[in-house]
Structure 1
Amino acid sequence: MSVPRNVRTTFGFYPPENNPAAWQADLETFRNALERAFPDGTLERRVDPLRGVDVLDFDIEVAPEIWITGTAAMPTPDYAYITLGNVTADEAATFAQWLRDSYVPSPAVVRFISSAAMTNGQETPSPLPATGDSSEIEAALRAHLTAAGIE
């Protein structure tokens, strides 16, 4: 049995294309949710110099001794995205399960894509599995990377 490579990449999470307001999100509610779920995290609001919109940078411990860094941008009520930088599929899966099961209003409203796949020409986010634990989400993230020729 071979062990999958632990490729580090950026994963982005998005609401459904046909319903960008599905998350019913803004930076303040997202910040509050992160503070409750990950009390030891560091959260910092700033203005993105490239886009001129407010974003929330975060550094949180999603599992014992597993820290991830991300940015959330929710500049208007009908648009949102969250990126996790320099993460493996298993690290991203742990966060994605929290996002899907504890933050968004429905488990069927999260899509994802990786920067590694985008570099290879893939531009359309895939739906996150609506059910299952983090290992099932990890399998979907790894399949995504494999399909893009990354893993």
Structure 2
Amino acid sequence: MTSDNPIRTRFSFAPPVDDALAWNLRLDVLAQAIEEAFPGAWTKAEGRLGPRPSEALSFEIQAVGDAWVEGTATSPIEGAGAVVVDATVQEASVFARWLRDSFIPSPDLIEFSSEFAMNRGDFSTWQLPRTGPAEDIVAALQAHIDAALRL
């Protein structure tokens, strides 16, 4: 159910809860990969972020048309993850597809959720489609938002 006024939210992408170290994420490698994959991308190592020991990387990529999306990736001791901030499903899908197809060791290692769903009481994670074009990822992200709207 897309609309003329799409919902903007924070989408989080992470390895499966039962295999939190599956990505083997190194933020310096992620920064280099983002800069190579997205012309004009900006990355910055942030050092420690939050109350637990973790390293962080801020980034900004061009997503759809003239839209740019900001994000953060963390590599805490017990796992890793990446977040895109204030993004539509179309904008978030650009990063998610690149993450799935070009960076993460296996496409079945990406789960996602959104701040929008969590704010409505849904703390479940959804599996990113393992294959398929960007439209399949857009559809999965939109189905997630639509399910949260029904809560």
Match for residue 8 of structure 2? Answer: 8
Match for residue 117 of structure 1? Answer: 117
Q: Is the 8 A contact 1:48 1:55 kept in 2?
A: yes
Match for residue 45 of structure 1? Answer: 45
Match for residue 126 of structure 1? Answer: 126
Structure 1: 4+ residue segments shifted above 2 A: 2-5, 49-53
Distance 1:132 1:92 in 2: 16
The structure-2 alpha-carbon separation of the partners of 1:71 and 1:111, relative to structure 1 and needing over 3 Å to count, comes to same
Does residue 1:26 correspond to 2:26, yes or no?
yes
Larger mean CA deviation between 48-57 and 109-118 belongs to: 48-57
The structure-2 alpha-carbon separation of the partners of 1:3 and 1:10, relative to structure 1 and needing over 3 Å to count, comes to closer
What is the identity, as a one-letter code, of the residue corresponding to 1:65? D
Secondary structure in 2 aligned to 1:24? coil
The structure-2 alpha-carbon separation of the partners of 1:3 and 1:125, relative to structure 1 and needing over 3 Å to count, comes to closer
Deviation at 1:64, TM superposition (A): 3.9
Secondary structure in 2 aligned to 1:108? helix
Q: Is the 8 A contact 2:53 2:76 kept in 1?
A: no
Distance 1:72 1:119 in 2: 21
Aligned length: 148
Distance 2:37 2:146 in 1: 31
The percent of aligned pairs where both chains have the same amino acid is: 36
Structure 1 length as normaliser, TM-score? 0.90
Structure 1 spans left out of the alignment, 5+ residues: none
What whole-Å deviation, never above 9, does each CA across 1:5-60 have from its counterpart, x for those lacking one?
A: 41100000010111112112111111111121124111111132544522000011
Q: Is the 8 A contact 1:26 1:75 kept in 2?
A: no
Structure 2 spans left out of the alignment, 5+ residues: none
Superposition pairs of residues 82-101 of structure 1, within 5 angstroms: 82-101=82-101
